[in-house]
Amino acid sequence: SERMLFFTDAVVAIGITLLILPLMEAATELGEKEAEGEGHSEESNAQPAHEGGGLTVDDFYRSHWRQIAAFFVTFVTVWSVWTGHIFLFAYISLVPALMLTLNALWIASVMFLPVANTLMYDGWLLPYYVVLTCINVVVALMRHALRRVDLNESRPSDYSLVRSYVWILCGVCAMPIDVLAPDGWAFAGIL
């Protein structure tokens, strides 16, 4: 059980690291443009970030606010599903083969979140909803599988299973809203 959890933790850590890379690349590219004289204009009221020129923090945030918002939304999502995973596996001492398979599906879904994050930044929310729904389906299957496993302590509550179903329903409802009314992304995101 510990080896699987350590592996899962490592993969989640890599996934979170992948989230920040597009922002780091954007910051590097903008810094290079500034050094070449294509970035910060003299008419702007903002002051250079340092004596050698370059973008101000304000310039960076203004030009990349959607990408930054997408990063934080996805970071919180990864953090949330990871902590849920910790609590789910707190009940198991020996991991059955079915749970290993379901865990691999969970890892694959979580690792796709950085891709969905990039697409979300570009205005494509549907892949994000699909990935979140997949994660919640796998978690619901894990909770069902736990009902058949001899556990250390108490079993997960029925409430946790109902909560999985609610999240799946929210994801399924958000997908057609995003497809049929792309400008209604905020409403679909609330779901």
pTM for this entry: 0.69
| Over residues 102-126, mean pLDDT | 86
**What single DSSP character describes residue 157?**
P
Band the pLDDT of 174: cuts 50, 70, 90.
Answer: confident
Residue 180 burial (10 A CB sphere; 0-12, 13-18, 19+): exposed
CA angle 16, 19, 22 (to 5 degrees): 155
Token duo for residue 153: 């302590």
What is the separation of C-alpha 8 from the centre of its chain, rounded to a whole number of angstroms? 15
CA angle 3, 165, 162 (to 5 degrees): 90
